């Protein structure tokens, strides 16, 4: 029986996905739930399992194509089953496929196809591939690297992990060229960096001398001559596109107000040092972010307005008596905000473990789309970049977000004298439709009190 598999709704109403890498080819025999491809949504890189066991007869999109939900993706020949009666609609076809012995188990499988045609990026010839994806920041044509062999037409993608592919993509490096230089082995991030360094070194001489081989025309990048004014165009898609849309929606929907508080957190840093000194080797690492997360959960119980959401259609403010805590994470693919569910129920150690797992998953590009939505309050640690304060934008649907500044050793008034103390600034942005200035200030003070005197946590609990 022939069966078409359409791109399913991968969760949270996402409408499209980009094919990052096919892990199968036409003619391959696959098993149920075998990974067919890795696809990148607006929120995460997702492995796409096979809904059938059978032989692949067609791949309807190439790596790099953006495919709409509901569009044909893979054709199957399923052994031992008869061809179904042609369905009157894609929805009917999905229902029929669900009845056979190898039916799909994907979230949203069988979604009605989106209107419009899939968006496809221009395919490039092998010659163009060999010259196009140059790191424009070092401004060197690949042809200047004489030891790089020509890249033959390939049916398989270079072997690497999703984070490495994302890293290479973000730095304009074609993994096919890296693979051609390395041979048949898994490409690492270090390999990408080595390749970029080699391009940079060669570019010093290449920028002032004509290349030995003519550069193929390309719309992606071209050699930059010495002294030339140039620009680079970067496609807006994936996480960056989603983040931009969300931030614009939030900024022009919720009236933002930001209040700041600089405080002495020496007692907190001393507590962290003590806990680390006595912790087991495999215990989760407790840091300032973990303690602030605990302080926020305690304070939200007393200031529920910061944990509410605005329901304009119902004309109501919805107070949420649980804390799904968002933690902003800067990844190679852009900014994402994974959620720690029911954070208010966790101990300090539990929060530390959750933050560590969240960070590991985010950096590997494996955060599930469902784990990026539904937060009630968020934290962003700008201190790791050496920044003291800022005005964070609210994630859509949330009323509060707290930015943690850098902890600095500064002269500070302490017990009537000047002493060197650990000092940081907290920046709280909130939705002024729900929270007035007094409540915002009181909430921020409650969080600060815990950080200044961690023993106060027993009073707020």
And the tokens for 16? 């499209």
Distance, CA of 231 to CA of 154 (rounded, Å): 31
Q: Which residue has the tokens 């791109």?
A: 7
- Per-residue buried b or exposed e for 88-107, using 16+ beta carbons within 10 Å of the residue's own CB: eebeebbebbeebebbbebe
Q: Which residue has the tokens 């993994």?
A: 175
The stretches of 221-324 forming alpha helices (DSSP H) are 238-251, 266-278, 288-300
Ramachandran bin of 220, using left for φ above 0, alpha for ψ from -120 to 50, beta for the remaining angles: alpha
Helices (H), 207-236: none
Closest CA to 333 of 185, 162, 84: 162
Would you tell me how many other CB atoms lie within 10 Å of the CB of residue 281? 4
Pairing state of beta strands 400-404 and 377-381?
parallel
DSSP state of 401: E
Between the alpha carbon of residue 438 and those of residues 170, 257, 318, the distances in Å are 43, 12, 20
Task: Give residue 247's Cα distance to chain centre.
Answer: 15
Q: How far apart are CA 188 and CA 1, in angstroms?
A: 41
Structure tokens at 46: 């997702």
Tell me the two tokens of residue 318: 């919805």
- Give, as one character, the DSSP assignment of residue 10: -
Residues in the chain: 461
Q: Please, what sign has the CA dihedral across residues 158, 160, 161, 163? A: negative
Catalytic residues: 432
Angle at 367 between CA 103 and CA 156, to 5 degrees: 65
Tokens of 277: 């000194």
């Amino acid at each position: 029986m022939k069966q078409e598999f359409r791109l399913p709704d991968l969760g949270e109403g996402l409408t499209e996905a980009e094919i990052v890498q096919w892990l199968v080819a036409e003619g391959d025999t696959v098993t149920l739930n075998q990974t067919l491809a890795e696809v990148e949504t607006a929120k995460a890189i997702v492995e796409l399992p096979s809904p059938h066991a059978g032989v692949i007869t067609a791949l309807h999109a190439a790596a790099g194509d953006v495919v709409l939900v509901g569009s044909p993706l893979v054709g199957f020949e399923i052994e031992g089953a008869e061809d179904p009666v042609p369905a009157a609609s894609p929805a009917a076809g999905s229902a029929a496929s669900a009845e056979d012995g190898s039916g799909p188990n994907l979230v949203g499988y069988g979604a009605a196809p989106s209107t419009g045609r899939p968006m496809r990026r221009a395919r490039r010839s092998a010659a163009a591939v060999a010259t196009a994806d140059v790191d424009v920041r070092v401004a060197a044509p690949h042809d200047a690297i004489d030891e790089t062999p020509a890249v033959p037409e390939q049916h398989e993608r270079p072997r690497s992990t999703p984070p490495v592919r994302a890293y290479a993509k973000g730095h304009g490096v074609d993994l096919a060229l890296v693979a051609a230089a390395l041979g048949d082995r898994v490409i690492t991030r270090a390999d990408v960096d080595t390749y970029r360094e080699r391009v940079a070194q060669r570019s010093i001489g290449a920028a002032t001398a004509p290349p030995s081989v003519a550069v193929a025309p390309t719309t992606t990048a071209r050699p930059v001559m010495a002294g030339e004014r140039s620009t680079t165009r970067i496609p807006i898609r994936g996480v960056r596109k989603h983040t931009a849309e969300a931030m614009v929606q939030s900024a022009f929907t919720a009236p933002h107000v930001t209040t700041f508080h600089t405080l002495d957190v020496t007692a907190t840093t001393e507590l962290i040092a003590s806990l680390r000194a006595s912790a087991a080797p495999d215990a989760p690492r407790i840091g300032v972010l973990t303690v602030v997360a605990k302080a926020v959960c305690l304070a939200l119980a007393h200031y529920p307005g910061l944990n509410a959401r605005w329901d304009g259609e119902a004309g109501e403010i919805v107070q949420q008596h649980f804390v799904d805590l968002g933690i902003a994470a800067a990844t190679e693919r852009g900014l994402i905000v994974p959620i720690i569910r029911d954070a208010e129920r966790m101990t300090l150690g539990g929060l530390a473990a959750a933050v560590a797992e969240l960070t590991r998953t985010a950096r590997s590009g494996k955060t599930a789309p469902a784990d990026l939505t539904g937060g009630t309050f968020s934290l962003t640690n700008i201190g790791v970049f050496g920044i003291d304060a800022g005005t964070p934008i609210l994630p859509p649907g949330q009323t509060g977000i707290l930015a943690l500044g850098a902890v600095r050793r500064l002269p500070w008034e302490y017990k009537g004298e000047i002493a060197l103390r650990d000092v940081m600034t907290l920046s709280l942005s909130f939705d002024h439709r729900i929270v007035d200035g007094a409540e915002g200030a009181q909430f921020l003070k409650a969080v600060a009190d815990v950080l200044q005197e961690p023993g106060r946590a027993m009073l707020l609990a």
